[in-house]
Structure 1
Amino acid sequence: MTNFKRKTSFDPDNLEEVLNGFKEEGYEVFVVGPDIYSKENDSEDTALARQFVEATDGATSTLDSIMKHELLFHRKKIVNASPWNVDLSIGPNIKIPVSTFIKLRDEPVVKTWKKAVKDPVTSTASTFEAVEKRKEYINPENQSTVKIQDKIQGYHYGQTIIPFTDLDKTMLYQPGEKCLSVYGFTHADNISWQNLTGDGLSYVFARKGDKNAQKAIRCLVECLHELNLVGIVRKVHNNNNAPKMFALMPVIDTNNYVCLSMIALSYKEEIKQMSFPATNLKKYSCTPEQVNAFKDLINAMDLTQAYDDTYDDKEAFPIAECISPAAQYVLDCIAFRALNPGKPLPKPREEVMSLFQVPPLLEENARKPIEKIKSLFTLNKVEVKKRKNKNVVLDIDQIQAPLGDFQPDTTDIPNMPKVQLPINENEVDNIHKISTINPVEDFKVLQGKNKPLSELAPGMIKAIESLIYNNIDGNYTKALDAMKHLRSEFLKSDPKDYNDWMRKFKSDLAKCDNNQVLCLIMEKQVSFYTEGRK
């Protein structure tokens, strides 16, 4: 920071040497003061400052701009990153010394909070009193405190506590020493973002000062990039820590570095299986006009064109550059509480509130597309009727006369009033399609009405798929019975249609990871029909 009022004394012969030293150390010169590129401030000192800024890829800004833009928000304290040093093992003989640095991590704004006693007079935290928590275990038989050496771990199994002694701990699986071992390589398309987990991302570099390691890592990165592959590694952070699986992906930044990015992979137990009803149906299809209306809305709300030419950058909410409003407000509250111990916390500042507001230009551009979408998509409010349980009192004298000559046997109970509910004789005639309540019986009834298999099969398949995809209790007996009946009917004519449907159905189940139904299909022998298996 300077105002260039005093003339700088320097030796021009050593300028190039100084600039090279700045580059080698990785320094970036940031000049705060008058505009060094303005003709009004042109001088030998500003020319020298320009040389340092341009040579070190630095920046410059005026004091007014700094106060208006740069000092509005709290910034994270910059500290030297501490690497995690380990050998990247590939097979039994290849070990590459590497260092991993945390690139991204989900961390709270304030990591640790200290609890203290509030001084009622000054409303400040006491400097010599604090809150201490202590946990004690009481023996219920004699109400005595259990000593530390008498306590062991235990796990609840239902209502029973299973003790876990130090001897049991010796039988546990021991992952061994810390390591980063490559298990193999796979195509990058096999690693989907839905299967990534963990609390952040790390960059893997060759160990500083090891030229052989740097060559090996660079070669590995270029090969993975060229072949579109990803490495699968096992990581043990410290001795006997729980092992985790990670994916190593190539990162090539032509201006700065070549390295590997490392992110955790989820285990099968961590993935939640969810099933949803099919939406790729005709009743959900949209007209071309409706699709184009949403395309117009997306183009109108393009964040890369959120500001006009009067701004330096047209993009709004750029990735990796947005400031967290929640973090800013928490830090504002801490600063305010330190300066104003007895006052209530303020509301968020306008600068903080502006961080998650829609840019005015996008809001203006989106009005017409939104009005068009409102006219194309008519929404009707669906009122859910509450079920009312009414106790209807039946009057025996008002019940209609029984149908037919059916007379119940009342010889055992004398003077019993005769009550007979009417029977719907047209129940069978009311079946017009196959339902999920009793698909096999519905199929037989409709087949008895001389309906062909080509007309019944689509309805039966729809009922089976509905019973599978919308199942919530894990009982697929009704669906499997329907599949078995449908398969037997296809065997009487041509099983090709059944095989074609089964091939598509099993492919959809595999995409949904519904392995339970796939196993039941093989177990109940309702899969493909072949000459050797009926």
Structure 2
Amino acid sequence: MADKEATVYIIDVGESMADCHNGREESDLDFSMRYVWDKLSTTVAASRKTWTVGVLGLNTRKTDNKQAHEGLDGYEHISVLQELGPMSMTSLKELKSKIKPSGRSGGDAISAIVVAQCMIDAFTKKLKYNRKIVLVTNAETPFDDDSLEDVSSKLNESNIELVIIGVDFDDAEYGFKEEDKSSIKRRNEQALEKLISQCNLAVYGTMAQAVDELSVPRIKHVRPFKSYDGALTLGDPASYQSALSIHVERYFKTKRAAVPSASTVVIKQESGGHSQSTQTMDEEDVPMDGVEFSGVKQLRTYKVNDPDAPGGKKDVEMEDLARGYQYGSTVVPFSESDLNITKLETKKGLTVLGFVPFSNYEPFMNMGETGLIVAQRQNEEAEITLSALIHALHEVESYAVARYVQKDGAQPQILLLKPNPGIEDEFECLYDVPLPFAEDVRSYQFPPLDKVVTVTGNVLTEHRLLPSEDLNEAMSDYVDAMDISTFGADDDGKPSEYAPIEELYNPVIHRVNQAIRSRAVDPDGAIEPPAGILLRFSNPPEKLVEKAKPEIESLIEAAEIKKVPAKAQGKRWKKEAVKPLSGLDIDSLLGQSRKTKTISSENAVPEFKQTIATADDDATVEDAVKQMGQIIRKLIEDSFADLFYSRAAENLRVMREELLGLELPGMYNKFLTALKRSILSGELNGDRREMWFKHILAGKLSLITSEESEVSDVTEEQAKAFMK
């Protein structure tokens, strides 16, 4: 069961929090709320009802707390902005409108801590909770410090952790000290430090450090999850007494972290809070909180042709349909009875099939997440038996191969079981990884890297495709020079690993989480750039690259690397003709000028290219495009099923490339627009939509946009809309 948490944030919104200090362009309140909004949005994203949050305002205009209502003195200008309870997007939005500088002072920070402590005690009672109070202030407002011992003893009695984060508080460990500090703030800081020292659970720090640490990704710690509880067998215990059966438990050792998934929502209508669409879910079915959106429920209806039904179609139920699988250009029906025949009936179990030596296994065969197998708890017989199996595998240096079925009816998996005898870490277990089935393995043949085999069977060790000794040596020196295994430094300044595994974060997951939190707090604001810690290892260290510069230059020289100039886009009628080595004009000699010759459908691509290459005006190109367009349309029109679709698509691709090179995108865009109209309207001898979707759309033969050619007037958005 997840831990229950009760946290109360005390936010100072007094007059002094509206000022900017120490060269910052944002107020102390905005600077502090960076930390608070990040924590609150993380709680919202977790969506756990057991994580409760309350918010108190310090130095507010009004007074709204239980102690003040009971007539107690010293609790003025303290207001409950949110009672303890689950945090949602709705409450986050409402809270954002309340957190503003009040222009007042006079609130007592110690009294606010007492109010927060009473809120937590009243909410949690004697139940098991992780209790926490977070005070955010710049300590510019005087408060009464005579009751610090009573407050700390009460916090210790309730087992509440006190976290005090001050704006511009002095912190020797972080290396910050505020100059020209006011006497009131200096006295308050000393009092708060004294309060922290008297609490059993307490954290004290400066806001600058807290804000800096927001960029460090939060690692989600999860409890062990049991995926299997049953027998590990060797042989068939039901048939043979000599068979081995051990009661074991399997847990996940590693688990793939996924990017947060999105949900489809619709905007609610003001009347009744529901959209008029019948696809909107009922209020109680909506899995999210909020006042602006509702979840969407998918509704499907199935229709078949029926001449007797109104409109020529009738509705059918889902139960009357059969699954259909595409086989070529046809659909093969597959009934439920056929599916039951092909479905494998399995029983829950973990059975050892055989053993394989360490040397016969390649690590690249690992197919997924790692598991951990241990003996059943409080089962001494299972512990002894499993320990014997683990040590036996270790002594003979072998892995076990097992068939694993998580539950009845589940698909079987083949697992490799690795023994861990606990010699180094005093923990005995079997680690497991999934292995591939035969159809999962793809074998590809590549030519050798150290030799070239000719057609006649001769073996060459020196060839233009093989690296020379100088190149091998230069590459070896370069790899050694770029070694980062000891490029880092530890706390004592000694060489250490540059990129330790605990500092490597998945930039996709944490960047998306950062963007979601930012958008939740400020729906209209700009999303901040990725945190530097996510991009820290995206490029090699500059000092190491500079240090390895001689090796890099030697490698460039040995590999004879030369910079290839960018291919200039062809200009109309200024294309440089390719001159043969003989210096002869082959086209003139053979009399095969493409200026006046008709393009044939049998040899359309080379003839079209030759015509474009020798064209010296727009009229010649326009005539060639017209002929090629007629050939494309004819291929589609005469095609039996999809027989000629590939040829038509290839001709269209060549037309696009040539016209793009001549900077004549308008001709291509005009032809493609007319071709789409003809295909979708059925002008080309029936339904030819497969040509559009599977060859033109999938082949990325869209309109030429302004990003590809400066003279095109088609934008990227217009091209996408056209292809839809």
State TM-score, norm by structure 1: 0.56
Kindly state the Cα deviation for residue 134 of structure 1 after the two structures are TM-superposed: 2.5
Which consecutive residues of structure 1, in runs of 5 or more, have no partner in the other structure? 10-31, 36-44, 50-59, 397-534
Question: Residue 267 of structure 1 aligns with which residue?
Answer: 437
Q: Answer whether contact 2:268 2:292 (CA < 8 A) is retained.
A: no
Cα distance in structure 2, aligned partners of 1:69 and 1:231: 48
Report the equivalent of 2:89. none
TM-aligned CA distance change 1:150 to 1:391, over 3 Å: farther
SS at the partner of 1:369?
helix
Match of 1:92 among 236, 245, 257: 236
Counterpart secondary structure, 2:535: helix
- Cα 1:331/1:216, change in 2 over 3 Å: same
Deviations 1:411-446 (A, max 9, x none): xxxxxxxxxxxxxxxxxxxxxxxxxxxxxxxxxxxx
Offset at 1:69? 7.6
Residues 1:241 and 2:423 are matched in the alignment: no
Alignment of 1:209-288 (within 5 A): 209-253=378-422, 254-281=424-451, 282=461, 283=463, 284-288=465-469
User: In structure 2, do the counterparts of structure 1 residues 201 and 117 end up closer, same or farther at CA, with 3 Å as the change threshold?
Assistant: same
- Contact 1:119 1:125 (8 Å CA) reproduced: no
- Is the counterpart of residue 336 in structure 1 residue 486 in structure 2? no
Q: 1:247 is matched by which residue type in structure 2?
A: L
Give the number of the structure with larger relative contact order, counting CA–CA contacts within 8 Å between residues 6 or more apart: 1
Identity across the alignment (%)? 22
Q: Deviations over 1:228-259 (max 9, x none)?
A: 21111111122122222111112345235221
Match 1:135 to one of 300, 303, 324: 300
1:182 Cα deviation from its structure 2 partner: 0.6
Q: Partners in 1 of 2:205 and 2:421 — Cα distance? A: 36
Deviates more, 1:370-379 or 1:73-82: 73-82
Distance 1:344 1:67, change over 3 A: closer
Q: In the aligned structure 2, how far is the partner of 1:317 from the partner of 1:387?
A: 54
2:474 match: 293
* 2:448 alignment partner, SS class: coil
Q: Match of 1:174?
A: 344
Q: Structure 1 374/266 Cα, relative in aligned 2: closer, same or farther at 3 Å?
A: same
1:306, 1:361 within 8 Å by CA — same for their partners in 2?
Answer: no
Instruction: State the distance in 1 between where 2:262 and 2:545 align.
Output: 41
Q: How does 1:58-97 map to 2 (within 5 A)?
A: 67=210, 71-84=214-227, 85-93=229-237, 94-97=244-247
Deviation of 1:217 (Å): 2.2
Distance 2:494 2:380 in 1: 42
Q: Which residue of 2 aligns with 1:412?
A: none
CA distance in 1, matches of 2:471, 2:293: 68
1:348 CA displacement: 1.2
State how far apart, in whole Å, the 2-side matches of 1:105 and 1:352 are: 21
Q: Decide which of 477, 484, 488 is 1:303's aligned counterpart.
A: 484
Deviation at 1:118, TM superposition (A): 4.4
What SS class does the counterpart of residue 129 from structure 1 fall into?
Answer: strand
Partner SS, residue 89 of structure 1: strand
1:29-40 mapped onto 2 (5 Å cutoff): none
Q: Which moved more, 1:259-268 or 1:147-156?
A: 147-156
Note the C-alpha offset of 1:187.
1.1
For the structure 1 residues 262 and 34, does the alpha-carbon distance in structure 2 shift closer, same or farther, using more than 3 Å as the test? farther
Secondary structure class of the residue paired with 2:509: helix
Pick aligned residue for 1:117 from 231, 255, 266? 266
Deviation per residue, 1:183-214 (Å, 9 max, x gap):
0001122221232213x111112222222222
The one of 302, 318, 333 equivalent to 2:500 is 318
Q: Deviations over 1:149-174 (max 9, x none)?
A: 21222323334433333332342343
**What residue ranges of structure 2 are gaps of 5+ in the alignment?**
1-131, 134-147, 154-164, 166-170, 174-195, 238-243, 271-288, 307-311, 452-460, 568-576, 581-585, 593-724
Counterpart residue identity of residue 99, structure 1: E
When residues 361 and 308 of structure 1 are mapped into structure 2, their CA distance, relative to the original with a 3 A threshold, is farther
Counterpart secondary structure, 2:513 = helix
Using a 3 Å threshold, how does the CA distance of structure 1 residues 370 and 304 change in structure 2: closer, same or farther? same
Give the alignment's Cα RMSD to 1 decimal: 4.2
Structure 1 residues 386 and 274: CA distance shift in structure 2, 3 A: farther
- 1:473-512 counterparts in 2 under 5 A? none
Aligned position for 1:204: 373
Deviations 1:384-403 (A, max 9, x none): 99999x8778579xxxxxxx
> Given the superposition, is the C-alpha separation of residues 345 and 297 from structure 1 closer, same or farther in structure 2, using an over 3 Å criterion?
same
- Aligned partners of 1:299 and 1:278: how far apart in 2? 24
Alpha carbons 1:101, 1:203 under 8 Å: kept = yes
Q: TM-score, normalised by structure 2?
A: 0.42
CA–CA distance in structure 2, aligned partners of residues 387 and 165 of structure 1: 65
Greater shift in the superposed pair: 132-141 or 331-340:
132-141
Q: Do the aligned residues in 2 keep the contact of 1:333 with 1:345 (CA within 8 Å)?
A: yes
Aligned residue runs from structure 1 range 5-20, under 5 A:
none
Instruction: Give the aligned residue type for 2:508.
Output: A
- The answer as to whether partners of 2:486 and 2:497 remain within 8 angstroms in 1 is yes
Q: 1:158 to 1:357 in 2, by over 3 A?
A: closer
8 Å CA contact 1:155, 1:163 repeated in 2: yes
> Is it true that 1:190 corresponds to 2:360 in the alignment?
yes
Moved more, 249-258 or 338-347: 249-258
1:393/1:81 CA distance change after superposition, 3 Å: same
**CA contact 1:152–1:163 (8 Å) conserved in 2:** yes
Q: 1:99 to 1:392 in 2, by over 3 A?
A: farther
Aligned partners of 2:267 and 2:292 also within 8 Å? no
Equivalent residues of 2:233, 2:350 under 8 A apart: yes
Q: Is the 8 A contact 2:488 2:499 kept in 1?
A: no
What residue identity is the alignment partner of 2:441?
I
Please give the alpha-carbon distance, in whole angstroms, between the structure 2 residues aligned to 1:130 and 1:312: 55
Partner deviation per Cα, 1:92-114 (whole Å, 9 max, x = no partner): 1322111222122333121x422
Q: Which residue of 2 aligns with 1:327?
A: 509
**Is this contact kept in 1: 2:266–2:296, CA < 8 A?**
yes
Amino acid at match of 2:232: L
Q: Distance in 2 between matches of 1:63 and 1:189?
A: 54
8 A Cα contact 1:117 1:126, kept in partner: no
